[in-house]
Amino acid sequence: GIMSNHRLFRAGDDMRQYSFTLDFQVCDYECDMQGIVNNAVYQNYLEHARHEFLKTLGLSFADFTRRRINLVVVRAELDYRHPLRSGDRFRTGLCIERVSRLRFSFLQDIFILPDGRPILFAKFIAVALDRKGRPWLPEELETALGSFARAGGEKERSISR
């Protein structure tokens, strides 16, 4: 499972080991009839965290799109542990890992605040596509993500929504 991969980036459940963290609060409209966050909403949280992480590196998802460079997820794995409910505050943690010449893996977790109970473990494989839809790695993306991935999560960045 993907959980074993995440343990490499955490000392126990110490969220300070992440390369980037982002705090959220669950909104009423994100919950389903059972009163819990709908499973699809978690992907929105995690996507937003990835985009905010790119911004801290000086990279704009919107700018890449305008230049017809598409950053896409080609694989998503999500392991749900506990549900979130309306009003819950939680933190996403993100680490990045190079998986091949053109692909990066985003290891992302969600923990409830303030106690840090694990909510979700996820792994996303992403690639950039050029104007013709072929995998390609723009130099600025390789420089930013490549150096960050090699840093092994030593750099920490954090913002709140």
Cα–Cα distance for residue pair 139/17, rounded to 1 Å: 27
Cα–Cα distance for residue pair 153/156, rounded to 1 Å: 7
Phi, psi for 29 (deg, rounded to 5): -70, -10
Q: Which helix (H) or strand (E) holds 139?
A: helix 139-150
Residue from 13, 32, 79, 130 carrying the catalytic annotation: 32
Q: Is 32 marked active-site?
A: yes
CB 57 within 8 A of CB 148: yes
Task: Give me the active site residues, please.
Answer: 32
